[in-house]
Amino acid sequence: MEEMSNFIKTIMMNDLESKKVKSIVTRFPPEPNAYLHIGHARAIITNFELAENLGGKTNLRFDDTNPAKEDVEFVEAIKKDIEWLGYHPAKVLFGSDYFDETYELAIKLIKKGLAYVCDLTPEETSKYRGDFNTPGIESPYRNRSVEENLELFKNMRDGKYQEGEKVLRAKIDMASPNINMRDPVLYRILYINHHRTKDKWCIYPMYDFAHPIQDAIEGITHSLCSLEYDNHRPLYDWVVEQCEMPHVPQQIEFGRLNITNTIMSKRYLRELVNSKKVIGYDDPRMPTLVGLARRGYTPESIKSFVKASGLSRINSTIEGDMLEHFLREDLKLKTNRLMAIFDPLKVVITNYEEGKIEYLDAVNNTENEELGTRKIAFSRTIYIDRNDFVLEKPNKHYKRLALGLEVRLFYAYFIKANEVICDNEGNIVEVHCTYDPETKSGSGFNERKPNGTIQFVEATTALPATFNLFETLVIDNPEDHRSFLERLNPNSWTVKTGFIEGEKEHFSVLERFQFIRDGYYVVDKDSRDENLVFNRIVSLKSAIK
């Protein structure tokens, strides 16, 4: 696969060359409060690939400094997602591993006169902070003595106050044009059991304080984050400098990845799951990595997509079509091509011997001989797709079966439709055809041109199967102002029941195929050999012409 190349790589290469850093160390820092989505893949791929390409390493660090929504379920899921993408963290660490050091560093700041305990309510704090046009007002608690602050902070830790009653704030600059520098909160009180430290702490550091400290302790050289942290960088640098961290990491921001018709924020994904609009985080329509995996997307296609989408200091919205393109590219040569019938129509070959079954040769992938060959059953009764038959040829572009016309069956014979049998309501239930034994496996193709080539399955050996077809969960529409839960695509999941050719005895979960003339499919996790379920990964051609 192609190496990644972008502005961050340039910075890293320069830093290596100028000996500013000895080797590259990056980290991916997810909050363990949800499943990862394809937007996170940009951050994961960027961190791991850049470090790997430059001989460095990458840690996985769970940013678990806010115990409110965190859970071990997510920790395990995130580890698996990263493995699925094919990356191996040098270390797996937790922000909470550094709670002791972080606490000591807060005390250091207090002693340096750079942090104070503040009693303003959260509402007052935000009022005092001002906004873009108004400078902040200093808190009346800002000038407490070092001794008083040390005692109050210890009391905070010892659980002597209610949540929200006191916070520890950095003493920086209430008039700074950057609001993040207006005495940001460093620690707050939370009486919540932490998934790892349990009830050891009732004060927890804020992201802006904890993150630079964690990066510095771990020796992270380049701390990559998305663009919204851009104006937090001065605070990041302030924390590293004032805490006198021996190692100085560098924060670099990049644009977030968005995809058309795809909702990516964790909060929305949680709402979809909680409101039961989807069957779980691994619903095949979800943009979560577990959802995409169940849908049959390959890690390779996601990597190619993320790399091709580029990386800059601008948030980007990429067409979902591009991801589908990379999927088709990846699956084209890797998958066996089987025949599936999604809407079966019975065809009786009236001049074929009753009770006989023959087995015809078929190649598994016409573009990749290495995938070998198989046998296809053929007999007097077969199924074709209802879509492949009409009574009368409607126009010259119609390349399928109609009364009086001849088509070729893949790997088998030419058949000609002579008659239809209808039920009482006039629905076609059977088509009677004759076959030409001279046209076996397409021979005779040069003498006369059939009206197209279609797939079939032999009726007595075919395996019943369920097919799940998907469209996007939401459709972008700037005119529609309803909440996204109200504008979900009603056709996002369609179920069809039909057959697939019956030669293969076992189908493993996540095994992928191309079903000829339709698309790429994967065996769903709920599939059993006696009850096959396939998810359509992507159609053969883009729906958008």
Q: How far is the CB of 206 from ligand ATP (least distance, A)?
A: 14
- Are the beta carbons of 317 and 38 closer than 8 angstroms? no
232/26 Cα distance (integer angstroms): 19
Instruction: Please report whether residue 40 would count as binding ligand ATP according to CB under 6 A.
Output: yes
Q: How far is the CB of 254 from ligand ATP (least distance, A)?
A: 7
Catalytic residue among 9, 182, 266, 307: 266
Residues β-bridged to residue 210: none
Closest CA to 521 of 506, 534, 540, 502: 534
Q: What are the Cα distances from residue 425, in Å, to 40, 343, 390?
A: 54, 18, 17
Query: How many other CB atoms sit within 10 Å of the CB of residue 455?
Result: 24
Catalytic residue among 31, 52, 319, 471: 31
Q: Which stretch binds ligand ATP (CB under 6 A): 29-37, 102-110, 193-201, 459-467?
A: 29-37
Please confirm, yes or no, whether 31 is among the known catalytic residues.
yes
Q: Which stretch binds ligand ATP (CB under 6 A): 28-36, 52-60, 94-102, 453-461?
A: 28-36
Q: How far is the CB of 78 from ligand ATP (least distance, A)?
A: 8
Q: What are the Cα distances from residue 316, in Å, to 259, 262, 430?
A: 8, 13, 52
Evaluate the CA torsion angle 143, 146, 151, 152 in order and state its sign.
positive
221/8 Cα distance (integer angstroms): 12
Instruction: Please report whether residue 13 would count as binding ligand ATP according to CB under 6 A.
Output: no
Instruction: Please report whether residue 291 would count as binding ligand ATP according to CB under 6 A.
Output: no
Q: Which stretch binds ligand ATP (CB under 6 A): 34-42, 138-146, 176-184, 466-474?
A: 34-42
Q: Which stretch binds ligand ATP (CB under 6 A): 27-35, 139-147, 271-279, 360-368?
A: 27-35
DSSP 338-394: E-EESSEEEEEETTSPTT-EEEEEEES-TT-GGG-EEEEEEESEEEEEGGGEESS--
Evaluate the CA torsion angle 286, 290, 295, 298 in order and state its sign.
positive
116/186 Cα distance (integer angstroms): 10
Which pair of structure tokens corresponds to residue 162? 């209610």
Q: How far is the CB of 34 from ligand ATP (least distance, A)?
A: 7
Our CB check for ligand ATP shows the closer of 43 and 186 to be 43
Instruction: Please report whether residue 30 would count as binding ligand ATP according to CB under 6 A.
Output: yes
Interacting residue with ligand ATP among 6, 11, 16, 31 (CB under 6 A)? 31
Kindly determine how many residues on this chain lie close enough to bind ligand ATP according to the rule CB under 6 A: 14
Instruction: Please report whether residue 92 would count as binding ligand ATP according to CB under 6 A.
Output: no
Our CB check for ligand ATP shows the closer of 81 and 283 to be 81
Our CB check for ligand ATP shows the closer of 305 and 410 to be 305
Instruction: Please report whether residue 39 would count as binding ligand ATP according to CB under 6 A.
Output: yes
Interacting residue with ligand ATP among 243, 257, 473, 538 (CB under 6 A)? 257
The three-state secondary structure class of 251 is strand
Which pair of structure tokens corresponds to residue 295? 């849908």
Query: How many other CB atoms sit within 10 Å of the CB of residue 10?
Result: 10
246/533 Cα distance (integer angstroms): 56
Our CB check for ligand ATP shows the closer of 40 and 194 to be 40
Q: How far is the CB of 241 from ligand ATP (least distance, A)?
A: 22
Q: How far is the CB of 103 from ligand ATP (least distance, A)?
A: 23
Please confirm, yes or no, whether 375 is among the known catalytic residues.
no
Query: How many other CB atoms sit within 10 Å of the CB of residue 375?
Result: 13
Contact pattern from residue 342 through residue 361 relative to ligand ATP, giving x for each residue in contact according to CB under 6 A and a dash for the rest: --------------------
Rg of the Cα trace of the chain? 31
115/124 Cα distance (integer angstroms): 18
458/375 Cα distance (integer angstroms): 12
Contact pattern from residue 260 through residue 279 relative to ligand ATP, giving x for each residue in contact according to CB under 6 A and a dash for the rest: ----xxx-------------
Instruction: Please report whether residue 256 would count as binding ligand ATP according to CB under 6 A.
Output: yes
Q: How far is the CB of 155 from ligand ATP (least distance, A)?
A: 31
Q: How far is the CB of 225 from ligand ATP (least distance, A)?
A: 5
Interacting residue with ligand ATP among 4, 8, 43, 243 (CB under 6 A)? 43
Q: Which stretch binds ligand ATP (CB under 6 A): 24-32, 83-91, 288-296, 410-418?
A: 24-32
Contact pattern from residue 192 through residue 231 relative to ligand ATP, giving x for each residue in contact according to CB under 6 A and a dash for the rest: ---------------------------------xx-----
467/472 Cα distance (integer angstroms): 17
Output the residue with the shortest Cβ distance to ligand ATP: 39
Interacting residue with ligand ATP among 8, 21, 35, 42 (CB under 6 A)? 42
The three-state secondary structure class of 224 is strand
Q: How far is the CB of 265 from ligand ATP (least distance, A)?
A: 4
Our CB check for ligand ATP shows the closer of 144 and 266 to be 266
- For 271-280, the CB contacts below 8 A with 24+ separation are 271/485, 272/473, 272/485, 275/485, 277/485, 277/488, 278/473
Catalytic residue among 57, 108, 256, 346: 256
The kind and range of the H/E element at 151 are helix 146-157
How do the residues of the chain divide into helix, strand and coil, expressed in percent and rounded to 5?
30, 25, 45
Q: How far is the CB of 313 from ligand ATP (least distance, A)?
A: 12
Which residues bind to ligand ATP, rule: CB under 6 A?
A: 29-31, 39-40, 42-43, 225-226, 256-257, 264-266
Q: Any idea which residues carry the catalytic annotation?
A: 31, 256, 266
